[in-house]
Amino acid sequence: MRVLVIDPDKARAALVAEGLAGVKPLEVRSAPSFEEVESAVDGFDVIVIACDSPDRDTLESLREQTAHNPRPVVMFVDRSAPGLAEAAVEAGVAAYVVDGLAAKRVRPVLEVALTRFQLMQKLRGDLAKAQADLAARKTIDRAKGLLMKERGLDEEAAYQLLRKLAMDSGRPLGAVAADLIAYANVLKGGS
Amino acid sequence: MSLKLGFIALTDCAPLVVAKERGLFEAEGLDVILSREASWANIRDKVASGALDGAHMLAPMALTGAVIAPLSLNANGSSITLSRPLAEQVRALGGDEAPAGAPRTAHALKRLIDRRAAAGERPLTFAVVFPFSIHAYLLRYWLADAGIDPDRDVRLTVVPPPRMAARMLAGEVDGFCVGAPWGAVTEAAGAGEIWAQGSRLWRGAPDKVLGLPAAFAERDPGAVQALLRALIRAAVWADEPGNREPLAEMLSRPAYVDAPVAALRRALVEPESFVLQFHGEDAGYPRRAHALWLLSQMRRWGQIDETVEVRRVAEQVYRPDLYLQAAEAVGAPARGPQLDAEPLQPMFDGRAFDPARFDDYLASFPLRRRPAPVQ
């Protein structure tokens, strides 16, 4: 089975290709856009494509024009694996069968693609959260410093005051700290 | 109640954007997230799988899925654009200049295509945004009117709207039919020329609808009515001439169409193309005669066969009853079901579709794909 992965996100494409290498017998190629592989599409059995790629509509139009008409897996995989196609769409990946391959042969490919997309989503989410946590910690440190300077508190007392403000207002510590810094700037005549 | 609605970056997503920006969804107790999607295929699959609760949808796409269309989002707005070099060549062959108000036909283009074929040159490439779209059917109709077979005499391809200008500039696409503002964007980029306004080929042509999963409509008719009320109010607002300038600005934002205001103004504000309508001239009414016309073109070009019961499909998908209920609730002027018995406005070739004579209409086209003989 030959699988084509179209994904503008190179890191994710590599992750999917690496995951598919475990499904044998398989030959995998990836490209950032459909345009780059348009002439070679007939050589593949399955196309895995990221939903954030605008190339999906071009791929769909091939169904009309050529004998090799890619059929979206979402249209027929359901009977053999309920919920799989829906989960794939939710995770942002779609698959097409180019040449009448049986649904049960495509399923492992879509399953791998799905888990790799979910993994990438989680990794990106974790990274974004780590960055947000780091930014919040810096803000809290600045707000603590401000309270220590303006109110003559020690570090522990400044932290406890911030925590009390957060609990009283029912808001996250980082948000309260950011407000405090903003107010201090206004009072100092800054913007 | 919270809902996630999908849209594609086109001027005709306006009712969704207006309802969101002006708090009309909120006023109905709806917490709506608008999700810009990268392709029509995504819209179809996400609505089918429940990842979206509804979407801005191509009317013919709605007719091929398990959705209902209780609202038409717009009429008009599409246009046929030719690349600069192609426009010049066609002009040199007579250009089909038409009297004021009438659109150009494709007869000069036909002469050019015949010459190119005789000289052994490559066929011209025309693009649409999706095979099942008013753009595909208008372009096919316009070409076929001049005797150009859209499946044999040219190469038809699909290009996402925001990429049309670049593909034309690169010489990969010679002509296309697409919704606003992408024709105007291409013209402003110097890549092409708007050759025929869709509204002049056929005033009031059906275009996008609100597509909702049939199961959602059955489960929660109250939410459907709330959604329709918000969108009808938005459409009425968007049609007010005094609101067209702020509308162009609103749509141009990066989160929505993400195109220059000047390009958006073309189909919204400028007098000679003041044609995109959201409510007026029955633009919001999901007219079953429109559904049947679209199905006639699917049949004409072999996208569906004779086993598809067109009247049943039109009745299941298009839901004027739901529209009229909501229009009445918000006091928006709307004509009733008599619209479905009337023949449609004639197209540029003088043919008017009468829904009662579906087969005769289809048979009147010399250029069409005939069904394969039964084995």
Closest CA of chain B from A51, distance in Å? 6
Q: How confident is the model at residue B81 (pLDDT cuts 50, 70, 90)?
A: very high
Three-state SS for A152-170 is CCCHHHHHHHHHHHHHHHC
Q: What is the DSSP letter of B347?
A: -
Distance from CA of A91 to the nearest CA of B (A): 10
Is residue B49 within 8 angstroms of chain A, CB to CB?
yes
Q: Provide the pLDDT for residue B32.
A: 98
Q: A27-41, B49-63, B299-313, B355-369: which range is least confident on average?
A: A27-41
Domain A2-125, CATH among 2.20.25, 3.40.190, 3.40.50, 2.40.50: 3.40.190
- The pLDDT score that the predictor gives to residue B373 is 56
Q: Of B50, B6, B65, which Cα lies nearest the Cα of A87?
A: B50
Spans of all domains in chain A:
2-125, 128-187
For chain B, the average pLDDT equals: 92
- Among B107, B141, B81, B190, smallest CA distance to B346 is for B141
Q: Which two tokens stand for residue B37?
A: 């999607």
H or E element in which residue B206 lies:
none
> Which stretch of A59-63, A116-120, B9-13 has the lowest confidence by average pLDDT?
A59-63
Phi and psi at A49, nearest 5°, equal -135, 140
Q: Does the pLDDT at position B99 exceed 80? A: no
* List of domains in chain B: 2-74+205-287+304-337 (3.40.190.10), 78-201 (3.40.190.10)
Average pLDDT over residues B323-343: 88
Which of A123, A133, A126, A112 lies closest to A9 in space, CA to CA?
A: A123
Contacts for B285 with CB less than 8 Å, ≥ 6 apart: B72, B320, B323, B324, B334, B335, B339
Residues of chain A found within 8 Å of residue B55, distances taken between Cβ atoms: none
Partner A contacted by B41 (CB < 8 A): yes
Mean pLDDT of the B160-164 span: 87
pLDDT value, residue B375: 46
Helix/strand/coil for B111: helix
Q: In the predicted model, is pLDDT for residue A2 greater than 50?
A: yes
Question: CA B46, CA A167: separation in Å to the nearest integer?
Answer: 40
| pLDDT reading at B78 higher than 50 | yes
> Cα separation of B287 and B373, whole Å?
33
Residue A76, exposed/middle/buried by CB under 10 A (0-12, 13-18, 19+)? middle
Q: How far, in whole angstroms, is CA A132 from its chain's centroid?
A: 17
Q: Which residues of B touch A90 (CB under 8 A)?
A: 49, 51
Residue A190 confidence (pLDDT) above 70? no
Per-residue pLDDT tens digits for A113-143: 888 888 888 888 888 888 888 888 999 999 9
**B367 has a pLDDT exceeding 90:** yes
Report the candidate in B24, B63, B74 with the shortest Cα–Cα distance to residue B231.
B24
Q: Using CA atoms, how far apart are residues A91 and A83, in angstroms rounded to an integer?
A: 12
Question: What is the rounded distance in angstroms from the CA atom of residue B144 to the CA atom of residue A156?
Answer: 81
What pLDDT does residue B117 have?
Answer: 96
pLDDT for residue B194 is more than 50: yes
pLDDT at B245: 95
DSSP state of B259: S
Task: Find, in chain A, the residue whose alpha carbon is nearest to that of B9.
Answer: A54
Consecutive H or E run containing B211: strand B208-213
Q: Which of A48-57, A72-81, B27-36, B53-62 has the lowest mean pLDDT?
A: A72-81
| Sole residue written with tokens 């949808």 | B57
pLDDT for A126: 86
Residue A107 and residue A121: Cα distance in Å, rounded?
21
* Identity of the residue numbered B113: I
Q: Does A90 touch chain B (CB under 8 A)?
A: yes
Q: List CB contacts of B144: < 8 A, sequence separation 6 or more.
A: B150, B365, B367
Query: What number is the ipTM of this complex?
Result: 0.80
How confident is the model at residue A79, as a pLDDT?
54
Dihedral of CA B43/B47/B48/B50: which sign? Answer: positive
Work out the average pLDDT over A77-86. 64
Q: Do B39 and A64 touch (CB under 8 A)?
A: no
Report chain B residues whose CB lies below 8 A from the CB of A58: 157-160
Half-sphere exposure in the Cβ direction for B40 (13 Å, CA): 28
Q: Which two tokens stand for residue B9?
A: 């970056």
Region B204-210: mean pLDDT is: 94
pLDDT at B24 over 50: yes
Query: In whole numbers, what is the pLDDT of chain A averaged over residues?
Result: 81
Q: Is the pLDDT confidence value at B334 over 80?
A: yes
pLDDT band at A71 (very low <50, low <70, confident <90, very high): low
* Cβ of residue B51 closer than 8 Å to a chain A Cβ: yes
pLDDT above 70 (res B271)? no
Given a cut of 60, whether residue A74 has pLDDT beyond it is: no
Please judge whether A58 and B157 are an interchain contact, meaning their C-beta atoms are less than 8 angstroms apart.
Answer: yes
**Site from A36, A48, A57, A58 to mutate, B interface, most B CB atoms within 10 angstroms:** A57
Cβ–Cβ < 8 Å for A133, A77: no
User: Looking at the partner chain, which of A57, A86, A90 has a beta carbon nearest the beta carbon of B39?
Assistant: A57
Nearest CA-CA distance, residue A141 and chain B, Å:
34
Q: B190: alpha, beta or left, given left = phi > 0 and alpha = psi -120 to 50?
A: left
The CATH class for the domain spanning A128-187 reads: mainly alpha
- Average pLDDT of the residues in A52-79: 66
Residues of A in contact with B129 (CB under 8 A): 57
Q: Considering only CB atoms, which chain A residues are within 8 Å of B163?
A: 54
Token digits of residue A99: 């040449």
Cβ pair B41:A59 closer than 8 A:
yes
Q: Which residues contact A13 (CB under 8 A, 6 or more apart)?
A: A5, A6, A7, A30, A32, A50
Any A CB within 8 A of B36 CB: no
pLDDT for A80: 56
Q: Mention every residue, 6+ apart, whose C-beta is less than 8 A from residue B312.
A: none
For the packed helices B244-252 and B14-21, what is the interaxial angle rounded to 10 degrees?
90
A53 contacts B39? CB cut-off 8 A: yes
Enter the tokens of residue A69. Answer: 């008409």
Please report the number of interchain residue pairs, chain A to chain B, with beta-carbon separation below 8 angstroms: 65
CA distance B204 to B200: 9
Mean pLDDT: which of A30-34, A100-104, A169-173, B292-296 is highest? B292-296
Banded model confidence at residue B156, pLDDT cuts 50, 70, 90: very high
8 Å CB contact between A50 and A6 = yes
Tell me what the mean pLDDT of segment B166-172 comes to. 93
In B243-317, which ranges are continuous DSSP H helix?
Answer: 244-252, 261-268, 288-300, 310-317
> What share of chain B has pLDDT > 90, as a percent?
81
What does the CA dihedral B308, B311, B312, B313 come to, rounded to 10 degrees? 70
Per-residue model confidence (pLDDT) at position B227: 98
A80 Cβ under 8 Å from any chain B Cβ: no
